[in-house]
Amino acid sequence: MLESLQIAGDLIAAVHLSSALAMILGLALGILIGVLPGMGPLLGAVLAIPFTFHMSPVPAIALLLGIYQGGNYGGAITATVLGIPGTPMSAATLMDAYPMALKGAASEAVTLAAVASFFGTVFSGIVLVVISKYLAKVAIGFGPAETMSLTLLGLTAIAALSQGSTIKGLLAGLFGLSIATIGSDPLTGFTRFNFGRPEIEGGVTLVALFMGIFAISELMIQIEKPIRVFQTTDRLGVAFPMFRCLWTRAFGLIRSS
């Protein structure tokens, strides 16, 4: 009962005018930060922390949450228009949104990404509030054996979801594991496979990895085919999707949340 009253009080504080304005400002700043490749929502939230020292706790948290969530969505804009994910989270968006942009449906792709981002955030937040107590119990019992099993499950999923050759999917997974070994060992602290370069002693970040995979490959494609035919639109704006369009993708929204 007390927990329910506390959650209700937090919700009332969250919908206050000052909190709502702070969140809207944070969303706008986060989208601008997410569009810039290499910045990321986490870095944007960290840079905004000094500006929250003289703010009330609830509006300050709302501002930081808005920047973080806006940054997650902002990366989908560059993934859609340029084929370069602004954040690691938008790498999957690139697979569907960029081909839509090449066909002249960039507005629809950006709008669907916004709707999916909103729905995923709200749905996953509600689920987290409901099952957080049970997740804490599972996390306490999560040891090395479970971590190894989860890793093997990820490698198996890579092989199962690979289009075309399963061997290529496994090789790609092993290549990712080899990149993850670069940097300091988490147990001993010794530096591994940095090839004498102090810049990568901390490991290869996801932003640098995705920029290298997607941006460099797109650059090579542009050089190889300097003349490419695109279907252009009059303007790039917000296309409000029909309810039927969202309803047909409801299962995908729930599954990806």
Which residues on adjacent β-strands are paired with residue 184? 191
* 92 and 35 assigned to the same domain: yes
Residue 234: band (very low, low, confident or very high) from pLDDT cuts 50, 70, 90: very low
Which pLDDT band holds residue 228 (cuts at 50, 70, 90)? low
Counting the structural domains of the chain, the total is 2
Residues 159 and 250 in one domain: no
134 and 152, same domain (yes or no): no
Q: What is the pLDDT of residues 42-77, one digit of tens each?
A: 888 888 888 888 888 888 888 888 888 888 888 888
How far CA 158 is from CA of 150, 162, 212, in Å, comes to 12, 6, 20
pLDDT at 5: 62
Q: Is residue 222 part of a domain?
A: no
**What is residue 41's predicted lDDT score, i.e. its pLDDT?**
82
More confident residue, 223 or 130: 130
Q: Which helix (H) or strand (E) holds 93?
A: helix 91-102
Q: What percent of the chain has pLDDT over 90?
A: 0
* Rounded Cα gap, residues 153 and 144, in angstroms: 14
Q: Are residues 45 and 165 in the same domain?
A: no
Mean pLDDT, the chain, as a whole number? 77
Q: For the chain, give the percent of residues with pLDDT over 70.
A: 77
CB atoms within 10 A of CB 55: 14
Whether residues 83 and 159 fall in one domain: no
- Is residue 47 in a domain? yes
pLDDT in tens, 111-126: 888 888 888 888 888 8
Residue 20 lies in a domain: yes
Length of the chain: 257
Residues 84 and 166 in one domain: no
Domain extent at residue 155 = 145-172
Same domain, yes or no: 18 and 87? yes
Domain end (from 121, 156, 172): 172
Residue 249 pLDDT exceeds 70: no
DSSP per-residue string spanning the chain: -HHHHHHHHHHHHHTSHHHHHHHHHHHHHHHHHHHSTTT-HHHHHHHHGGGGTTS-HHHHHHHHHHHHHHHHHHHHHHHHHTS--SSGGGHHHHHHHHHHHHTT-HHHHHHHHHHHHHHHHHHHHHHHHHHHHHHHHHHHT--HHHHHHHHHHHHHHHHHH-SS-HHHHHHHHHHHHHHHTSEE-TTT--EES-TT-GGGTT---HHHHHIIIIIHHHHHHHHH-S-------S--------HHHHHHTHHHHHHH-
The whole-number pLDDT of residue 118 equals: 82
**pLDDT, greater one: 180 or 247:** 180
Provide the pLDDT for residue 208: 73
Q: Are residues 162 and 45 in the same domain?
A: no
Same domain, 52 and 77: yes
| Maximal C-alpha separation, the chain | 65
The CA distance from 138 to 210, in Å, is 31
- Asked if the structure places residue 249 within a domain, the reply is yes
Q: Of the segments 23-37, 100-114, 208-222, 225-239, which one has the largest average pLDDT value?
A: 23-37
Residues 208-233 have a mean pLDDT of: 67
257 is a domain residue: yes
Contact 115, 245 (CB under 8 A): no
The whole-angstrom separation of Cα 35 and Cα 219 is 18
| 93 has pLDDT over 60 | yes
**By C-alpha distance, which of 87, 89, 45, 88 is closest to 67?**
45
Task: For residue range 152-161, list pLDDT tens digits in order.
Answer: 888 778 777 7
The whole-number pLDDT of residue 246 equals 65
Tell me, yes or no, whether 114 lies in a domain.
yes
CA angle, residues 35, 37, 43, in degrees to nearest 5: 90
For 172-217, what is each residue's pLDDT tens digit?
Answer: 788 888 888 888 877 777 888 878 777 777 787 776 777 777 777 7
Q: Indicate whether 46 and 12 sit together in one domain.
A: yes
Residue 214 inside a domain? The answer is no
Q: Is residue 204 in some structural domain?
A: no
pLDDT of residue 256: 65
Residues 120 and 156 grouped into a single domain:
no
